Amino acid sequence: MHHNTVRASTLALVVVALSGCSYKPKPDEILMGAAPRQAIDAPSALMTSGGFCVALNAQDQLITQPCEKITRQQFNWDAGALQLEQRCLVVKGVSELVLAECQDDSRQWQWQADRLLNHKVDRCLDVAGRRHKPGTPLRLAECYGGANQSFEWKSSASMLEQLNLKSLIW
């Protein structure tokens, strides 16, 4: 038997052996950029790329403000429902953002990397006018990936508390 034939036969045997060991995860087991985050018990700040917190003003409008860890800046995330003060952020009509009583159809949001996409209207949460200063309103806009559509979930809770693994905390 020729040396190259032995090498090819060995390679073929390895390929056949490994092909039987492959594992293909189900689609719902794969975490993609748009995979919904699970419920997080600890209230958290939603920060803009400009370093401001998303807050609710006296007129019930979402605006940017310096972060102060006040109730009107503390959001909860429940697998697609963005909650503030026991109400959910939803879209009314095509583009109006409102806080309403949380219901089954309140789960309208998906994280796509650092963007919040409202899948009901296929638009992203956006700091209006690309202004990063206090008092700037938030709106829905076509998703294009600008810095004014970049947000970060800032929690003061530990990672274990966020994951609701309190039984693992010593």
Per-residue buried b or exposed e for 28-38, using 16+ beta carbons within 10 Å of the residue's own CB: eeeeeeeebee
φ, ψ dihedrals at 122, nearest 5° = 55, 50
Confidence of residue 29 (pLDDT cuts 50, 70, 90): very low
Report residue 123 CA to chain centroid gap. 14
Higher confidence at residue 125 or residue 28?
A: 125
Mean pLDDT of 95-124: 92
Domains of the chain: 40-164 (2.80.10.50)
- For 36-64, what is the mean pLDDT? 84
